[in-house]
Structures are given as structure tokens and as C-alpha cells.
Amino acid sequence: MDGPSRGADVVAVLPAAGSGTRLGAAEPKAFVPLAGVPLLVRAVDGLLASDVVDHVVVAVPSELVDRALGLLSGRPVSVIAGGGDRTASVAAGLAATGPDAEVVLVHDAARPLTPVDVVRRVVAAVRAGAPAVIPVLPVADTVKRVDPNGVVTDTVDRSALRAVQTPQAFRAADLRRAYAGIPDPATDDAGLVEAIGDPVATVPGDPLAFKVTTAWDLRIAELLLAGAVLEEMSGRTV
């Protein structure tokens, strides 16, 4: 599939090249079906349904590029081979975003139920002037630090802690600066932007933007979708 067309000014990069070992599925996580639709297809369709994303660059394992192209046909996407870790996959995706991208989003394929409002919030905040924006949620549980033997060393003040989700949104030039050279592997992209000294703003995340990591998460996602269908059938607003 072609790269972003001219004028594609908000482009999302979707790293979907992980093996998903913790899910224990027979195929890479992004290709695992959730109520019949692969996670990466749900993630791409969620981004496009926001109406604020022009194009999506999807990074998948190299042997699955053709399969992903088939699954995503008819959508404004490019599919490329990802790298050995998430950071390498995002770097490859970023290189394929095209010269017209003003705003770049990075979104995990593993967050298939992310509401469109979260996508709209991060894009709006970058358009309002923030170089980098991440969706966050307060931490509900008490958090403790433990030593290698599992013995508690201290209790962390959770009032200043936030759990971080995706999509994360960036001014394209700032994300490209953060990815210049070969960055150390990071668990999120805002971490690389922090490392070059740029401020990172936050907007409210959403519990539905949770990441599917284990078989339990996949089951919860299935139950949420089944519940939404039942509510639609009974005429209630989902």
C-alpha cells in the first residue's frame, strides 16, 4: 500500500510487531482476534473513526506484511516491517510517516477498545501548542517498592503517580528529534521526548484504552464487547 498521501497532516504509527508471549496465543498478539476481528484492525479502525487521523503506518513482523495488507485493505494505511523491540518498530514507522506530517501519534495495536475521544483529546492538545501529550489515569492501588526478595522497602506516594496509555501525540519535528540517532529501548515514546528536555503534557485517559497483555485482558475485552452489543440490541446508549 502507498505511503501517506500529500496533505496527510496527522499520521499515526501503530507498532504491531510484538510476539505477545505473555498472551500465550498461537500467533503474534496484534493478529489475535477479539470477537472475530484482529486487535490491529480494531486499533486502526478506532484511530480512523476519530476523524482526526489521516493515515496510519502499521509496523508488523516482516513475514506478516502481506497478511496485514490484506486485513487492512481499503483503509488509508501503509504496512512496514517492524524491528526487534517496540522502539525500533516505532522508529521504522516514524521514518515512513511522510514529509507532510505535522502531528504524529503513536498507538499500541494492543489497545483495541480505545475510545475516539481519547484520540481527539491528544490531537487537540498538540494543536493547542503542546509538543508532546499523553493520556493518563490516576493510580488506584497502593504502590510499594520491593527488594529482589519481594520484601517491601517503601510505600510510594501515589497521589503524584499516573498510569500512562496511548495514543501519545507529538509535534512531528519533536518526535523526530527524540528518535534521532539510535535511542535506547523505551516502554513509551514520551520517555524519549522527556530525555531531550521537551515538556510532556497530560490529558485524561480512559479505562477502555487498557492494553491487552494477558489472556485475562483479552477475556475482559471480549466481555466488554459482548456487553456493548447486548446494550445496543436493547436500545440503550453504549
What DSSP string runs through 131-176?
SEEEEEEE--S-EEEE-TTS-EEEEE-GGG-EEE-S-EEEEHHHHH
In the list 46, 82, 112, 191, the residue contacting ligand C5P (rule: CB under 6 A) is 82
Q: What is the DSSP letter of 26?
A: S
DSSP character for 224? H
Residue 45 contacts ligand C5P per CB under 6 A: no
- Residue in 4, 15, 112, 167 binding ligand C5P, rule: CB under 6 A: 15
**Which residues, 112 to 141, sit near ligand C5P by CB under 6 A?**
none
| Strand 33-34 versus strand 37-38 pairing type | antiparallel
Q: Which spans in the chain are helix H?
A: 39-49, 65-71, 86-95, 116-127, 172-178, 189-195, 215-233
CA atoms of 78 and 1, how far apart (whole Å): 5
Which residue shows C-alpha cell 491528544? Answer: 122
Residues 137-166 that bind ligand C5P (CB under 6 A): none
Under the binding rule (CB under 6 A), the answer on residue 213 touching ligand C5P is yes
Q: Binder to ligand C5P among 94, 110, 175, 218 (CB under 6 A)?
A: 110
- With CB under 6 A as the contact rule, which of the stretches 3-11, 102-110, 173-181, 190-198 interacts with ligand C5P? 102-110
Q: Provide the Cα torsion 164, 168, 174, 179; round to 10°.
A: 80
Answer left, alpha or beta for residue 132, where phi above 0 means left and psi between -120 and 50 means alpha: beta
Tell which positions 16-35 bind ligand C5P, by CB under 6 A.
Answer: 16-18, 29-30
Residue 182 as a binder of ligand C5P (CB under 6 A): the answer is no
Closest to ligand C5P by CB, 54 or 108? 108
* Interacting span for ligand C5P (CB under 6 A) from 81-89, 114-122, 145-153, 199-207: 81-89
Nearer to ligand C5P, 45 or 85 (CB): 85
Pairwise CA distance, residues 124 & 14, whole Å: 19
**Whole-angstrom Cα distance, residue 202 to residue 101?**
22
Stretch that binds ligand C5P, among 47-55, 108-116, 122-130, 224-232 (CB under 6 A): 108-116
Q: Is 189 in the site for ligand C5P (CB under 6 A)?
A: no
Q: Does 84 bind ligand C5P (CB under 6 A)?
A: yes
Distance CA 59, CA 15 (A): 5
Choose the binding region for ligand C5P from 79-87, 120-128, 153-161, 189-197 (rule: CB under 6 A).
79-87
- Total interface residues for ligand C5P by CB under 6 A: 18
* 188 lines the binding site for ligand C5P (CB under 6 A): no
> Where does this chain bind ligand C5P (CB under 6 A)?
15-18, 29-30, 59, 82-86, 89, 108-110, 211, 213
